[in-house]
Amino acid sequence: MPPDRGKWAVMMAKRVIFSGRVQGVGFRYTAKDLARGFDVCGWVKNLPDGTVELQVMGERGEVEDFIREIAEESNVAHHIKSLMAEEIPPLEGVRGFSIIA
């Protein structure tokens, strides 16, 4: 019988960089608000080059649906010109979802 890996077997983390007119439009607050509807944790912050970085962890489907919600269905989706997503190691010590100044 294979070992029981529990919920961690389906956990994943992603780093996403959103570009476009994504600063000064409520992007980070929208991401934080949307995170309440998903079983994810992580953070979002503005970067000096005008992009927004999101790091999020959760069950694969929750993470992907959360990113899709921001990019395609949120009130800031039309400000996004492109996004670059990559899988990253699990986030350590992160609980909930926050905005980093």
pLDDT tens digits, 6-26 = 544 579 999 999 999 999 999
pLDDT tens digits, 47-58 = 999 999 999 999
pLDDT value of position 1? 41
- Cα 77 to Cα 68: distance, rounded to the nearest angstrom: 10
pLDDT value of position 8? 47
- Cα 75 to Cα 78: distance, rounded to the nearest angstrom: 7
Task: Identify the CATH number of the domain defined by range 9-89.
Answer: 3.30.70.100
pLDDT value of position 3? 46
- Write down the domain spans for the chain: 9-89
The torsion of the CA quartet 44, 37, 72, 23, rounded to 10 degrees, works out to: -30
- Cα 60 to Cα 11: distance, rounded to the nearest angstrom: 6
pLDDT tens digits, 59-69 = 999 999 999 99
- Residues annotated as catalytic are 28, 46
Taking 60 as the threshold, does the pLDDT of residue 43 lie above it? yes
DSSP state of 21: S
